[in-house]
Structures are given as structure tokens and as C-alpha cells.
A and B are shown apart, each in its own frame.
Chain A
């Protein structure tokens, strides 16, 4: 089985103000705040991405070590999967 990829819900709209992100979920008619890092991950997830691609994206965007990028990505992704903001795609 190939590595799963992830994609954000198509009904999300994103914006930010001074590093604070806000996500609008049009299907559920609600909005919520995300961190700057979370916003970067969600922007990346407009297209399907593997976990490793997400980690590489954070490493290229921020000066952080791999361990931090992996744990940040895992924590955010788990949260998004639990709330159906992001879906897992397996082929």
C-alpha cells in the first residue's frame, strides 16, 4: 500500500492577520482560529500531500529542526483529521 496523502476540505476558505489565521468552513457554517504554522499547512493541503511533503514544506518555510517539524505536522494533522477539516486519501 502506498503512503497516504491528505487534502483539506474543499469548502474551507483561509485568511490571516498579523500571523493569526482564520479558517472558514462553508459547509459547516463555522469559523475558527489557527496558528501561522497551521495556516501554512492548510494552504499546502489545497492539493493532496503526503505527510513527508508537509514536513518538507514546513522545513523550507521555517528555521526548525526535523523533529519539531514532524511533531508539529503530526499534531496539527491529527487535529484536522479528527474534526474532518482534512481527509486522508488512500490509493
Chain B
């Protein structure tokens, strides 16, 4: 994903990571500790895994990151954990709002968004759909953007990362070992697919896994808003652009048909996969 113009991210690797005086309440997100909101305004991030700190300014699109040598020992991990959260807050200042979701375009040209936690079948389903001719935006990291009177979703280009169970279900040899994450990655092109950066979802699916048969049931409006908020929680941390972020979520709920899905192994036997469930 190209870095938006006007954003400033300065990263320094230092011998001693500075400590910022900050008495605000800590909100842990994975291995990243977040302090945000009043009275200081700016966002303060620290990493639990290794000494690293970030400061994202409240009213300008500027971030300063200080990393220890220990923190840069595993760059992939650093990027997907600490730096990703830093960028999530920085991109908010440029109108890009993170949502934990996968995106794709089906063979009929319809945009889909799969939302759910890390064990809800998003990546495995995305890989399956990629192998069935869908275009793929992302299996995990997406950003809501204003697309006129609709909500667009940018996909972060990275390999579709499968755990061993998903890898077995896909039944495809090869892939990129993502050792630190205990996963195997496939670029969309390796699965016969192509990457598409932006989609405008027509169908939103809140995913979970279980059972023998895949089911889809319509989601009620209140469930849709709560579901979207749950997986785009960054809206809660600071007043910066919170209303715009919220408006993009509700616009997405209006523009798309929204469903709860329980994904099951039968999806891998059905020739039309997920798209046949919806006319």
C-alpha cells in the first residue's frame, strides 16, 4: 500500500529508547500498549515484546518511533505488531480507518468483506476463494475510506497466511513459510488469483467456524453496527476523526447486505463456494 501523501513517519533505532511521562490509562491491544485521549491528546504506544515507543501527534499526521536493536531483530514481527498499530493511528489522520477484515471480488464482480477475529476462518476462506477465481484484497488487514457516497475498503497486500488446518483444507503444495507466525503464506497470484487494492463491499459477512454445513443468516441493523464497531475498535481510542470513522461504518452497513456466516468444511467441496449462497 503506498504511504499517503502528507504523512510523516520518522523511525530511529537507538541505544536507549526514551520514556515518555504519561499517566493515562493503558489499553493493551495484543502486545502493544496504547495510551490515548485527554489530557495529553497525542497517542502513546509501547511494545511489550521489546523496547519500542511511538508518539503520534493529535492534530497533525506525524509520528515518531524509537526502536531498540532488540525490537528490530525480527522485522516481520515488528511490522505486523508494533509498527502496524503505529501506522493504523497515523493513517487515521489521512482518512483511512483500520478494520479487521478480509476483502475480495467474486466471479460476478461483487465486492465482499469477511469480518471476524483471527480464528474465524477469514484467511482459509480467502485462500479458497482466491483458488476459485475471486480477486483478493486482503485476508486480514483492511482500511475503510471515503469513496464518495459509499465506503471503500483498501486491502493491505500481503501473503494470505494459513495455519496448518487451513493449509491442509486448501490442499495446495508450496507456499511461503511464515515461521515466526507458525503459518504458511500464499500470494494471491500463487493461487491463480490477482490482488485488487480497493473494493466497495456489496456483501458483508461476519464469520465464525463450526459444524458440518456452511450457513448464512441475515444480520439485523443493530447487530451490523455492533459487529462493525467491534472489528474497527480504533474508533474508540481518541476523538480524532471519530465521527468520520463512525459514519463510514454505518454507510458500509447501509450499502451492503450483511450476514452472519458459520463456515464449515463443505465450503471446500462446493464448486461455487460462498457466492452461490447469495443470488
Give the residues in chain A near B225, CB-CB below 8 Å.
15, 17, 20, 22, 33
Give the residues in chain A near B37, CB-CB below 8 Å.
26-27
Q: A22 contacts B226, CB within 8 Å? A: yes
Q: Residue B250 at the A interface, CB < 8 A?
A: yes
Q: B221 contacts A31, CB within 8 Å? A: no
Q: Residue B249 at the A interface, CB < 8 A?
A: yes
Q: Which residue of B lies closest to A11 (CB)?
A: B239
Q: A20 contacts B222, CB within 8 Å? A: yes
Shortest CB distance B233–A (Å)? 9
Q: Residue A29 at the B interface, CB < 8 A?
A: yes
Give the residues in chain A near B220, CB-CB below 8 Å.
20
Q: Which residue of B lies closest to A32 (CB)?
A: B226
How many positions in chain A have a CB within 8 Å of any CB in the partner chain?
17
Q: Which residue of A lies closest to B247 (CB)?
A: A15
Shortest CB distance A61–B (Å)? 20
Would you call the interface of chain B mostly helix, strand, loop, or mixed? helix
* Chain B 213-251 near chain A by CB (<8 Å), digits 1 or 0: 000000011101110010000011111001100110110
Given A17-B224, A22-B229, answer yes or no on A29-B246 (Cβ-Cβ < 8 Å): no
Given A26-B37, A33-B222, answer yes or no on A17-B242 (Cβ-Cβ < 8 Å): no
Give the residues in chain B near A19, CB-CB below 8 Å.
221
Contacting residue for A24 out of B224, B236, B253, B254, CB 8 A = B236
Q: Give the most central of A14, A17, A22, A24: most B CB within 10 Å.
A: A17
Given A26-B239, A31-B226, answer yes or no on A20-B246 (Cβ-Cβ < 8 Å): no
* Chain A 1-30 near chain B by CB (<8 Å), digits 1 or 0: 000000000010111111110101011011
Q: A31 to B224, alpha carbons, bound, how many Å?
A: 13
Question: How many interface contacts (CB-CB < 8 Å) are there between A and B?
Answer: 53
Q: Residue B20 at the A interface, CB < 8 A?
A: no
Give the residues in chain B near A30, CB-CB below 8 Å.
236
Q: Which residue of A lies closest to B223 (CB)?
A: A20
Q: A17 contacts B239, CB within 8 Å? A: no
Contacting residue for B242 out of A18, A20, A26, CB 8 A = A26
Shortest CB distance A29–B (Å)? 5
Q: Give the most central of B220, B243, B250: most A CB within 10 Å.
A: B250
Q: Which residues of B approach A to under 8 Å, CB–CB?
A: 27, 37-38, 220-222, 224-226, 229, 235-239, 242-243, 246-247, 249-250, 253-254
Give 29 CB contacts A-B under 8 Å.
A11-B239, A13-B243, A13-B246, A15-B246, A15-B247, A15-B249, A16-B250, A17-B222, A17-B254, A18-B221, A20-B221, A20-B225, A22-B222, A22-B225, A22-B226, A22-B250, A24-B236, A24-B242, A26-B37, A26-B236, A27-B38, A29-B27, A29-B237, A30-B236, A31-B226, A31-B229, A31-B236, A33-B222, A33-B225
Q: Which residues of A approach B to under 8 Å, CB–CB?
A: 11, 13-20, 22, 24, 26-27, 29-31, 33
